[in-house]
């Protein structure tokens, strides 16, 4: 899977990608304590969905009340 900073990954809940390390094929999200959680892009069994930031922003605009 190819991810970029700003993309959204669903792992139980939606999390935004805040850092990418292309050398290791890993990316990071932020946990509830503000620490980086690093994920392997090859471990796709954990990921329920993936959207670019543009896709997510369009969905959020569509569902506004």
**Number of structural domains, the chain?**
1
Question: Is position 43 within any domain?
Answer: yes
Closest by CA to 49, choosing from 19, 6, 5, 7, is: 7
pTM of the predicted model, to two decimals?
A: 0.83
Domain residues for 26? Answer: 8-62
Whether 27 and 38 have beta carbons less than 8 Å apart is answered as: yes
Please give the chain's pLDDT, 65 residues, in tens: 889 999 999 998 999 999 999 999 999 999 999 999 999 998 888 899 999 999 999 998 888 65
d(C-alpha 65, C-alpha 4), whole Å: 29
pLDDT of residue 33: 94
Question: Is position 1 within any domain?
Answer: no
């Amino acid at each position: 899977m190819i991810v970029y900073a700003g993309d959204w990954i669903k792992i139980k809940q939606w999390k935004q990608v805040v850092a990418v390390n292309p050398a290791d094929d890993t990316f990071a999200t932020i946990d509830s304590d503000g620490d980086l959680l690093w994920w392997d892009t090859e471990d796709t069994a954990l990921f329920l969905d993936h959207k670019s930031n543009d896709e997510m922003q369009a969905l959020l605009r569509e569902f506004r009340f």
